[in-house]
Structure formats: C-alpha cells, structure tokens
C-alpha cells in the first residue's frame, strides 16, 4: 500500500483510540491491532511512538489554532475573551487530546518536526500579541511581549489542570470560569501597569 495512505490510516486510527479510550490505550500493539498493520510497520512509518504522539499533538494544536482563526471581532478586548473561552471550551471538549499535548515532553523527539510543532504554538501566541497591541497601544513592545508570554503560560498551565480530575477534587470553582476570570483580572492588571 502507498506510504502516505498508511500514515493517514494509522494517524486516524490512533486518533479514534485517543478520543474513545484515552492516551494510555495508545500502544504500539493496540494501534497495530486496531489498524490492521503490524507493529513493525508503525515503526517504519514513524520511527518510534514518541514521534507518533508528536504528530497527534500537532494535529490537536492545529485544531485549536483553526478555532482561533475563526474568531474575528473588532474589539480587541472581546476578541481576547473569545480566545480564552474558545481555549477552555476546546480543552474540555478534547480532554484526552489535550492531556496528551500537556503530558508530552519534547526532549527526546526528532528535531525536525519539533520545530514545526513549536512554530504552531508561537503562531497562536502571536494572535494574542496582536490583540494586546490593539488593547494597550502605549505598552512598550518589550513589556507587551513578556505580558503575552506569561498570560499564555498561565492559560496553558491552567488548561493542564482542566484535563485532569485533580481540579474537581479540591477546588469548587467552575472550570469554564477560571480562564475567563484569569484573563479579565490579568488584563485589568496590565491596564493599570501600562500607565506606570
């Protein structure tokens, strides 16, 4: 069978496994059984399972990115709120996928694809930065950059907790409100600090 078709097929099968059963079920043997291809073929196509997961994570990030792209509002403030809402919504809708994104560490993976992966993240950060530029025109570019980075890190960090049950266990704050509250408090803080 054609190489591309196999990859597509495996990736698709993998995605079904993740969606329906969770990451812990995404093993070489189970993927092999579910797809009909042998274990060796998976390794021929992707080198190792980490790479396979990296590709899956890229797809997840890409999906989130395209949700962001759909958001087109004139008000920068509203747009940022919609980003945050879309983000939280996406994470909750795609728990299993986001859990994977978060629990995967780039260290050992192939450099080549890692770059593509990181670029996808920074593109999203740039979307936020664009809105920041509109919202805080007098904020120094340097400071704005740092503000955006940190906001993103916070949202990213919070999102990781949304995918696990740890939040439900100890905090009674409604999950969807966390990102919204964080964003608004943060933006208000920046507005004040902008003037200093």
* The two structure tokens encoding residue 66: 């395209």
Compare residues 5 and 170 and give the one whose CB is closer to DNA.
5
* Span from 21-29, 126-134, 142-150, 178-186 in contact with DNA (CB under 7 A): 21-29
Q: Rounded CA gap, 14 and 5, in Å? A: 14
Site for a second copy in 112-131 (CB under 8 A): 118, 121-122
- Candidates 29-37, 80-88, 89-97, 150-158: pick the segment binding DNA (CB under 7 A): 29-37
Q: Is 186 an interacting residue with respect to a second copy (CB under 8 A)? A: yes
Q: 41 vs 184, which CB is nearer to a second copy?
A: 184
CA atoms in the 13 A half-sphere facing the CB of 52: 27
**For 152, how many CA atoms within 13 A lie in the half-sphere containing its CB?**
17
HEC readout, 53-78: HHHHHHHHHHHHHHHHHHCCCCCHHH
Of 34 and 167, nearer to DNA (C-beta) is 34
Q: 179 near 155, Cβ under 8 Å?
A: yes
Which tokens sit at 128?
């936020």
CB of 39: closest distance to DNA in angstroms?
Answer: 4
Q: Which of 168, 8, 196, 192 is nearest to 92 (CA)?
A: 168
Tokens of 96: 């299993």
Is 100 one of the binding residues for a second copy (CB under 8 A)?
no
Q: Does 37 bind DNA (CB under 7 A)?
A: yes
- Of 19, 1, 13, the closest CA to residue 98 belongs to 19
Q: Which two three-digit tokens encode residue 139? A: 């904020």
Asked whether position 39 contacts DNA by CB under 7 A, the answer is yes
Taking the least distance from each CB to a second copy, the nearer of 7 and 149 is 149
x/- map, 129-168, a second copy, by CB under 8 A: -----------------xx-xx--xx-xxxxxx--xxxx-
What does the binding site for a second copy look like in residue numbers (CB under 8 A)?
103, 105-107, 118, 121-122, 146-147, 149-150, 153-154, 156-161, 164-167, 169-173, 177-178, 181-182, 184-193
What does the binding site for DNA look like in residue numbers (CB under 7 A)?
1, 3, 6, 26-30, 37-41, 43-45, 48-50
């Amino acid at each position: 069978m054609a190489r591309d078709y196999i990859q597509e097929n495996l990736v698709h099968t993998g995605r079904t496994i993740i969606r329906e059963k969770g990451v812990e079920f995404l093993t070489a043997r189970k993927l092999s059984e579910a797809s009909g291809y042998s274990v060796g073929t998976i390794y021929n196509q992707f080198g190792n399972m980490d790479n396979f997961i990296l590709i899956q994570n890229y797809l997840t990030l890409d999906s989130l990115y395209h949700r962001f792209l759909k958001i087109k509002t004139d008000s920068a403030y509203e747009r940022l709120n919609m980003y945050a809402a879309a983000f939280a919504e996406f994470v909750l809708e795609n728990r299993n996928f986001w859990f994977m994104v978060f629990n995967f560490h780039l260290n050992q993976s192939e450099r080549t694809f890692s770059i593509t992966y990181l670029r996808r993240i920074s593109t999203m950060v740039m979307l936020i930065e664009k809105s920041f530029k509109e919202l805080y025109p007098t904020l120094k570019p340097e400071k704005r950059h740092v503000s955006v980075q940190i906001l993103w890190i916070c949202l990213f960090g919070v999102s990781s907790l949304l995918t696990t049950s740890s939040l439900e266990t100890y905090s009674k704050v409604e999950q969807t409100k966390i990102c919204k509250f964080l964003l608004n408090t943060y933006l208000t803080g920046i507005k004040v600090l902008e003037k200093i």
